[in-house]
A and B are shown apart, each in its own frame.
Chain A
Amino acid sequence: MCTTCGCGAGEVKIDGDDAHHGHEHVHADGTRHSHGHVPGAAHEHSHAHSHDHVHGHRYAPVHSNAAPAHSHAPGLGAKRMVQIEQDILSKNNAYAAQNRQRLAARGIFALNLVSSPGSGKTTLLCKTIELLRGRQPVTVIEGDQQTSQDAERIRATGAPAIQINTGKGCHLDAHMVGHAMEKLELPADSLLMIENVGNLVCPAAFDLGEAHKVVILSVTEGEDKPIKYPDMFRAATLMLMNKCDLLPYLSFKVDAAIEFARRVNPAIEVIEVSATTGQGMDDWLAWIDRQAAVARPAA
């Protein structure tokens, strides 16, 4: 947990740098420099949350004049109740709203790709970038616990990519993504693809500021994944059924998988694809075009 801004990102690295203890700044004339935070120093930070580098010194005991009614802990004063009434995810949701605003201001359409490990997210992204070359700029934020292999695979296609390593963290959160967005130079009217950490549970609860979550289910997994991990399939707008080139060799029942997905989310759309053969990719690209047109206010 990061004590600098209390953001639970202690082990998080963005392209190998600590997420918080050194920010690179790009000045209008193009010069870049990095520096760590100096406690107490005024600090321009384009990501609008405040980092008030207090490090807990304000937690001095408060001495109340009121008679201590039930003082059980000597030296700590009377106990009292404090109403909070806040959603546990409210902090994340506030960062997500901020990301969403920044994306909307520049006409950037963002998708959050979620799935179990190995369902083909990175392969699918590489294929998508290849097919969109010359038509639409794509930028990628890669989330994995360790290594920057996926970001390197994306960069090999020519698209800019940044790697977030979450360490022990099992999902991306909106705060990390906000910092990654600062580091990337996102072209106006582009497509931002965020590959989440491979995990069908936790990423469902964390809004990153994306327009939609897209869940990838590969046919080498069970048909019953949607009812085993209902939160994720409820959170997604689209299910990409990947590795369909393997169907002839498997007993996977496509209809059953779709039925299970619709049971937890009656509105979910489904496209059958193969990232390796390119089957169904036209439908996927058309879906992106359609949704991006809806998301972007008419120019």
Chain B
Amino acid sequence: MHEMSLAEGVLQLIEEAARQQEFAKVTAVWLEIGALSGVEVEAMKFCFDAVMRDSIADGARLEIIAAPGTGWCMQCSMSVPMKEVFGECPQCGSYQMQVTGGTEMRVKELEVA
């Protein structure tokens, strides 16, 4: 459900770019999705196709660029990989973690015709 409104956000950005840069058709879309962004990639693919239908990106290919989750452990004073937003430090088990990467939800680029 969340992915549906995000897909609509993607279409808004595409349509805005189409007005500014004058292209008629989008054939591929690159999205950067962080592991901690809460976005389900499979759900996003499904919603993307549904939302793009009858738009200038109808039938466009969706390419996902996965960004890994990373955090700063205050106990270890070092950057560590994170699997979940509220996850523990894989080194020391502490929950005192600050997310530093992996929350991205960005439209990176488009292939247009």
Contacts and interface: CB of A to CB of B under 8 A. Distances in A.
B105 A87 contact: yes
A234 B6 contact: no
Contacts of A170: 1-2, 4-5
Interface residues of A, number: 46
A82 B13 contact: no
Nearest to A77: B113
A29 interface: no
Interface majority SS (helix, strand, loop, mixed), chain A: loop
Contacts of B77: none
A131 interface: no
B53 to A, nearest CB: 11
Nearest to A203: B2
A85 B32 CA distance: 9
Interface string A217-258: 000000000010011001000000000000000000000000
> What's the interface size class on B, roughly?
35 or more
Contact of A88 (B10, B23, B95, B109): B10
A7 B13 CA distance: 10
A158 interface: no
B85 A61 contact: no
A8 B8 contact: yes
A65 interface: no
Nearest to A8: B8
Given A73-B25, A76-B24, A266-B96, A86 B5 contact: no
Contacts of B14: 84
A264 B86 CA distance: 5
A73 B113 contact: yes
A98 interface: no
B16 A6 contact: yes
Interface string A166-197: 00011101000000000000000000000000
Interface string B73-113: 00000000000111000000001100000001111111111
Contacts of B51: 1
Contacts of A8: 5, 8-9, 11-12
Interface of B: 1-2, 4-6, 8-19, 21-25, 27, 31, 38, 51, 56, 84-86, 95-96, 104-113
14 contacts: A61-B25, A62-B23, A81-B109, A81-B112, A82-B111, A84-B110, A88-B10, A92-B9, A201-B2, A202-B1, A205-B6, A205-B38, A206-B5, A264-B85
